Amino acid sequence: MIEWAQSLVGRHVDETSAAIKAFRKKPRSAKRLHRARKCLARLRAVLDDYGAIAGTSQAFAERIARLHRRAGKVRDADVLLRRARAYKKDAFGTERAELKRLCALLKKRRKRMRAKLLRELRA
Domain segments of the chain: what residues? 2-122
Query: b/e map of 54-82 (b: 16 or more CB within 10 Å)?
Result: bebeeeebeebbebbebbbbbbebbebbe
Q: Tens-of-pLDDT digits for all 123 residues of the chain?
A: 899 999 999 999 999 999 999 999 999 999 999 999 999 999 999 999 999 999 999 999 999 999 999 999 999 999 999 999 999 999 999 999 999 999 999 999 999 999 999 999 998
The structure's pTM equals 0.88
Q: How many CA atoms within 13 Å lie on the side-chain side of 29? A: 16
